[in-house]
């Protein structure tokens, strides 16, 4: 990369700082990807990057102000630090100012170690297996589309209060989309992974082949409310939106779905009829995420003053009851409530649930089995009403069996409202969100049954 290591850059910037406080983080990342369409590779890449971020804190008398400057590569450290300090002087007192973190969080990492890396070689076994899947699909008259990506990100965070924290974050995903040659039938399978050693191309291809087989019988259904089985991927896309909206300040100010009528927030309210738990845990097996916060810009849900703050396991919903919202230390002080940081993973569980998706299908007299959701957007923040489409497989279940594929639908639903209407949840398993996996790959969700999912209109797309 350069003569200076990430740790040296961080130390040099901290040493150059003349501010009242300083946070420096360096993010080293490597990434490799393959993309394919119609049984052939289309694009690919191997990328290496380094980002250096300096956050300076300057007390102008009226309060502490913060300024953030970020550069890629190996920037001139003195210039970077000076720019950051100037930005802080220009900013004026910050509303979220609190003393910087000085207590080392658990899982601080090995500061002196080199950054972890990935390369195109991560696909050494995957690519030939994918080639075999292309051949098999070609032989069947099917087409495969998709994408595989592996990234390794190492973050070094140093502060003027003495913290030296390091975290390696591997992230990987595979999406396999199967289509008939006329594109009239389309199905999907996807997984998240840390290292590709647990990715089975034959397993994914088999799932795609099975669903393409289900799709050979086509059934047209009108818009309406249907008993619907949502698979883990679809559940994760809905729950992620509910999670991203869990800002305590917005709720306390009456401006999100977690606001209580009359004032305050809805912590303590029962949101789910079933005793569901929605939680995040940086140590969740297979979903490991950073155990401390790294923040470049303050918002209602994160603060640059909280850099290095521990992000322990947290229940957002426990036993069906809203238990926590995301709260910065500054807002926590103002509202005499605990500071709670967001974590980069999400798990939904029902206690003692053992049913697999197939078993839930077998227990369904008549209903729809979805595959994934797409183009999810907020319609009404007050209720968190979302809209979106079904995609790559809506299957009709009759008498406990899949009997054909149904047209796609546009739906309008609120994930918070849905929580209250889920009548059954199955066994939680690792899943890949379809809509949001650009940003979020670490999720584990159960399949769920909703008796009256609102399919607002028919989508002719296949």
Partner 1 sequence: MAAPRDVDESFLALPLSALTEAALTRAVDLGCEHADLRVERIRTQAISLRDARLEALTDGEDLGLAVRVVHEGTWGFAAGVVLTAAEAVRLAEQAVAVAKVSAAVASDRVELAPEPPHEGAWVSAYDVDPFGVPDAEKTALLTEWSERLMAADGVEHVQSGCTHVKEQKYYADTAGTRTRQQRVRIHPEFTALTVDRTTGAFESMRTLAPPVGRGWEYLTDGRWDWGAELAQIPELLREKTKAPSVEPGRYDLVVDPSNLWLVVHESVGHATELDRALGYEAAYAGTSFATVDQLGSLRYGSELMHVTGDRVVEQGLSTIGWDDEGIEAQRWDIVRDGVLVGYQVDRNTARLGGMARSNGCAFADSPRHVPVQRMANVSLQPAPDGPDLDGLIGGVERGVYVVGDKSWSIDMQRYNFQFTGQRFYRIEGGRLAGQLRDVAYQATTTDFWGSMRAVGGPSTYRLGGAFNCGKAQPGQVAPVSHGCPAAVFEGVSILNTVQEGGR
| Contacting partner 1 within 310-369 (CB under 8 A) | none
Toward partner 1, which CB reaches closer, 1 or 78?
A: 1
Contact positions with partner 1 (CB under 8 A) in 125-164: 127-128, 130-131, 134, 143, 145-147, 149
- Label residues 265-285 b or e (16+ Cβ within 10 Å = b): bbeeeebbebbbbbbbbbebe
Task: Choose, by CB under 8 A, the member of 61, 110, 365, 377 that binds partner 1.
Answer: 377
Does 245 contact partner 1 by CB under 8 A? Answer: no
Least CB distance to partner 1 at residue 253 (A)? 7
| Residue with smaller CB distance to partner 1, 292 or 411 | 411
Q: Does 273 bind partner 1 (CB under 8 A)?
A: no
Q: Could you say which residues in the range 180-219 bind partner 1, by CB under 8 A?
A: 183, 186, 188
Nearer to partner 1, 31 or 306 (CB): 31
State which of residues 18, 102, 200, 383 lies at the interface with partner 1 (CB under 8 A). Answer: 383
Asked if 63 is part of the footprint of partner 1 (rule: CB under 8 A), the reply reads no
Applying CB under 8 A, among 18, 48, 106, 333 the residue interacting with partner 1 is 48
**Measured from the CB atom, is 134 or 243 closer to partner 1?**
134
454 sits near partner 1 (criterion: CB under 8 A)? yes
Q: Interface with partner 1 by CB under 8 A: which range of 47-55, 101-109, 203-211, 327-335?
A: 47-55
CB 396 within 8 A of CB 364: no
* Binds partner 1 by CB under 8 A, chosen from 222, 262, 285, 399: 262
Output 364 or 408, the one with its CB closest to partner 1.
408
């Amino acid at each position: 990369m350069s003569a200076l290591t990430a740790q040296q850059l961080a130390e040099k910037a901290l040493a150059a700082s003349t501010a009242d406080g300083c946070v420096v983080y360096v993010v080293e990342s490597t990434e490799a990807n393959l993309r394919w369409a119609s049984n052939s590779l289309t694009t690919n890449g191997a990328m290496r990057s380094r980002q250096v971020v300096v956050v300076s804190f300057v007390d102008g008398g009226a309060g502490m102000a913060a300024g953030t400057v970020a550069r890629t590569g190996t920037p001139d450290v003195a210039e970077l630090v000076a720019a950051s300090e100037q930005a802080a002087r220009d900013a004026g007192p910050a509303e979220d100012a609190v003393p910087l973190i000085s207590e080392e969080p658990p899982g601080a990492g090995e500061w002196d170690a080199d950054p972890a890396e990935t390369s195109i070689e991560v696909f050494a076994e995957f690519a030939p297996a994918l080639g075999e899947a292309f051949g098999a699909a070609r032989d069947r008259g099917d087409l495969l589309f998709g994408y595989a990506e592996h990234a390794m990100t190492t973050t070094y965070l140093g502060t003027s209060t003495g913290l030296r924290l390091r975290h390696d974050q591997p992230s990987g995903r595979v999406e396999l989309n199967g289509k008939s040659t006329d594109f009239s039938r389309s199905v999907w399978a996807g997984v998240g992974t840390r290292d590709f050693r647990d990715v089975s191309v034959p397993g994914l291809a088999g799932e795609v082949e099975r669903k393409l087989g289900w799709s050979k019988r086509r059934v047209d259904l009108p818009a309406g409310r249907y008993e619907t089985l949502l698979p883990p991927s679809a559940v994760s896309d809905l729950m992620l939106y509910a999670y991203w909206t869990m800002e305590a300040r917005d709720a306390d100010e009456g401006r999100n779905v977690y606001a209580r009528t009359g004032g305050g927030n809805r912590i303590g309210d029962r949101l789910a009829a079933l005793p569901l738990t929605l939680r995040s845990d940086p140590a969740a097996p297979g979903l490991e995420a950073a155990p401390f916060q790294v923040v470049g810009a303050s918002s209602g849900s994160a603060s640059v003053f909280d850099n290095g703050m521990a992000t322990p396991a947290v229940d957002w919903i426990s036993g069906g009851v809203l238990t926590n919202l995301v709260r910065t230390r500054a807002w926590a002080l103002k509202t005499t409530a605990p500071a709670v940081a967001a974590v980069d993973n999400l798990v939904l569980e029902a206690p003692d649930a053992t049913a697999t998706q197939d078993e839930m299908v077998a227990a369904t007299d008549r209903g729809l089995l979805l595959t994934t959701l797409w183009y999810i957007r907020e319609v009404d923040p007050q209720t968190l009403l979302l809209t979106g489409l079904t995609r790559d497989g809506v299957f009709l279940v009759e008498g406990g069996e899949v009997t054909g594929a149904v047209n796609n639908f546009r739906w309008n639903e609120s994930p918070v409202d849905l929580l209250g209407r889920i009548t059954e949840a199955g066994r939680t398993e690792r899943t890949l969100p379809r809509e949001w996996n650009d940003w979020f790959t670490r999720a584990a969700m159960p399949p769920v049954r909703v008796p009256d999912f609102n399919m607002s209109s028919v989508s002719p797309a296949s």
